[in-house]
Amino acid sequence: GESVGLHLPTLSVQEGDNSIINCAYSNSASDYFIWYKQESGKGPQFIIDIRSNMDKRQGQRVTVLLNKTVKHLSLQIAATQPGDSAVYFCAENSGGYNKLIFGAGTRLAVHP
């Protein structure tokens, strides 16, 4: 069936380094992708999104890359800070209110 998965369950980085969190999706009909950040004890928080007609989108310190050929999505965080420590989810939407599928999440741990 349709699924969204993540390559690494935990990612450890040094403060100041760049982080890359990866995500694979299997539904070629998905046309919208979202990255969420979830801090401990809190709900998911929208970080950045990208539509299928784009291959790159930049925000503040974050960049999302979309490779539709291999159905791969990545989130790049520049100059990672301790406050970036959280679980990051990717989600894909193939249209409709009930078509948003979330990945299981990757935990990002930032070390001083």
- Closest separation between CB of residue 39 and another protein, Å? 10
User: Toward another protein, which CB reaches closer, 80 or 89?
Assistant: 89
Map residues 29-68 to x or -, x wherever contact with another protein holds by CB under 8 A. ---x-x------xxxxxx--x-------------------
Cα–Cα distances (Å) from 78 to 11, 82, 99, 105, in that order, read: 14, 12, 31, 19
- Selected binder of another protein within 25, 35, 88, 89 (CB under 8 A): 89
23 touches another protein (CB under 8 A):
no
Do 111 and 15 meet the contact criterion of CB atoms below 8 Å apart?
yes
CA 28 – CA 81 distance, rounded (Å): 34
CA 38 vs. chain centroid, Å, equals: 11
85 touches another protein (CB under 8 A):
no
